Amino acid sequence: MELSVTQENFTKALGNVGRVASSKAGLPILSNILLRTDGNRLLVAATNLEIASTHLIGAKIAKPGSITIPARLVTEFVASLPKGTVDLSVKDNHLHISSGSYSSVINGVAADEFPELPTIDESSSVQYSISTSDFKQAVAQTIITASSDSTRPVLTGVYWHSFEGSLYLAATDGYRLAERRLVETKSDVAAIIPASTLQEVLRTLTDDITEVDVLFDETQVRFRVGESEITSRLIDGNFPPYRQLIPDTSETSVTIDTQEFVRVTKIAGLFARQSGGSVTLTADGDKGELSIHSIASELGENTSSAPAEVTAGGQVTLNSRYLSEALSVIDGDKVTFRFSGKLAACVLTAVADDVNYKHVIMPLKS
C-alpha cells in the first residue's frame, strides 16, 4: 500500500473511528484501526464487535493495500503532525508515515486478521433521513432516561418504533420515562438501539452535516453521517409497553415559565444533596405559584417559589436531579407540569399546540 492524504482529513477520520477501538483483553486486534484502500479513497475503520465505525477520506493512491495499526498510537501521532500532506506506505506489516521532516514506522498486523465489517442490505432495510437538529434533540431528550443497569439490557437503549403513523423514540430506567415523536412514517419498525451507540453518533456529528441517514435491518442499525458510518447491533428483547404508564389526565396542572422552574429547582437541589435529592413541590391555586421545599439536616432548609397558572392545588415529592435533567431538554418558554397526588406519575411537557415530547417522573415516597 502506498498513498497520500491530508493531515486534517486523516486526523478527523482517526479521531472518529478510534473511539470505537477496544483495548479490552481477549482480541488484541480490536485495539487496532483498519486502513484499506477503496477506489480512490482510504477507508479508516474500527470495531469492538458491538459497534463498527468507518470513515472514508480522499487519497492519492499509488498502490492499493491494507493494514491494521494500534489505534491510540497512530491517532495521537497523526494529530501531532503539522497540517499538510501525510505519506503512508506499507512494507512487511510495518506502516511508514512521513510528513515534512517527521517520519515514523508503526508495527502493524495483517488486515485479514481484522473482523469482517458488518453489512446491511440497503434494498430491504427500513430507512429514514432525519435533520441533524431534530436527531440531536430527540436523542438528547430520550437518552437521559435510559438505564445504566446491565441486568435489564432492554432498558439500556432507546426504543425506536412506529406507532399510528409516526416514528417515536422512548427510554426508561424504571424511575422516569421519556417519549419523543420524531417523523411521520409508513414503515413498521421496532428496534432498541444501545444508548452508547447513539452517544457515538452524537460525537461524530459536526456543524456542516445537515442530515443523518438511519437504516434498520432485523438485527442491526446503521447511521450515515457525512463520510462516516456507524453500524451497531440492536438490543435483543421486547421493550415494556410503556404507554400505559403515561397518564392522560391529572388532578393538578401547573403552567410555569421554564427558566423560573429551572432556577427554583436548581436552588432547591443545593439543599437536597444530603437527602438523596428529595424535593417537595407544592402547587397553590389561591396564590398562583409553585413552591419547592428541600431540607439539608445539617445545613438548613430552603423554600423557593415561582408564579404559575395552577388548576387544583397539590403536593408531590421528586428527585431534584431527575427534575433538572427533564427541564434541561424541554424546548419551550413555558412548561406544563401535572400530577395526581403523591404516588401517581408526574408528566412534564412544553406548552405547544403540538406536543411531541413527554417526560414522566415517578414520585418519591415522602
Domains of the chain: 2-113 (3.10.150.10), 122-244 (3.10.150.10), 246-361 (3.10.150.10)
Q: Determine contact, residues 62/2, Cβ cutoff 8 Å.
A: yes
Which pLDDT band holds residue 25 (cuts at 50, 70, 90)? Answer: low
Q: Long-range contacts for 224-228 (Cβ within 8 Å, ≥24 apart)?
A: 225/201, 227/13, 227/55, 227/56, 227/57, 228/16, 228/17, 228/53, 228/54, 228/55, 228/204
**C-alpha count within 13 angstroms, C-beta hemisphere, residue 148:** 1
Enter the pTM of the model.
Answer: 0.93
Which pLDDT band holds residue 300 (cuts at 50, 70, 90)? Answer: confident
Provide the grid cell at 71: 489505534
Secondary element (H or E) of residue 266: helix 258-272
pLDDT at res. 136: 97
Q: What mean pLDDT, rounded, does the chain reach?
A: 95
For the stretch 334-359, pLDDT in tens is: 999 999 999 999 999 999 888 999 99
Burial of 194 (0-12, 13-18, 19+ CB in 10 A): buried
Give mean pLDDT, residues 15-30. 86
Task: Using the predicted structure, report yes or no on whether residue 182 has a pLDDT greater than 90.
Answer: yes
Provide the grid cell at 176: 422516569
- C-alpha 163/C-alpha 213 separation (Å) is 20
pLDDT at res. 275: 76
Give mean pLDDT, residues 29-45. 97
Task: Using the predicted structure, report yes or no on whether residue 246 has a pLDDT greater than 80.
Answer: yes
Which pLDDT band holds residue 253 (cuts at 50, 70, 90)? Answer: very high
Q: Which residues pair with 48 in a beta bridge?
A: none
Task: Using the predicted structure, report yes or no on whether residue 128 has a pLDDT greater than 90.
Answer: yes
Q: What percent of the chain has pLDDT over 70?
A: 99
Question: Per residue, what are the HEC states of 172-210?
Answer: ECCCEEEEEEEEECCCCCEEEEEHHHHHHHHHHCCCCCC
Task: Using the predicted structure, report yes or no on whether residue 264 has a pLDDT greater than 60.
Answer: yes
Give mean pLDDT, residues 81-96. 97
For the stretch 47-78, pLDDT in tens is: 999 999 999 999 999 999 999 999 999 999 99
pLDDT at res. 296: 81
Which pLDDT band holds residue 267 (cuts at 50, 70, 90)? Answer: very high
Which pLDDT band holds residue 23 (cuts at 50, 70, 90)? Answer: confident
- C-alpha 310/C-alpha 293 separation (Å) is 17
Report the length, in residues, of the chain: 366
Task: Give Dmax over CA atoms of the chain in angstroms.
Answer: 82
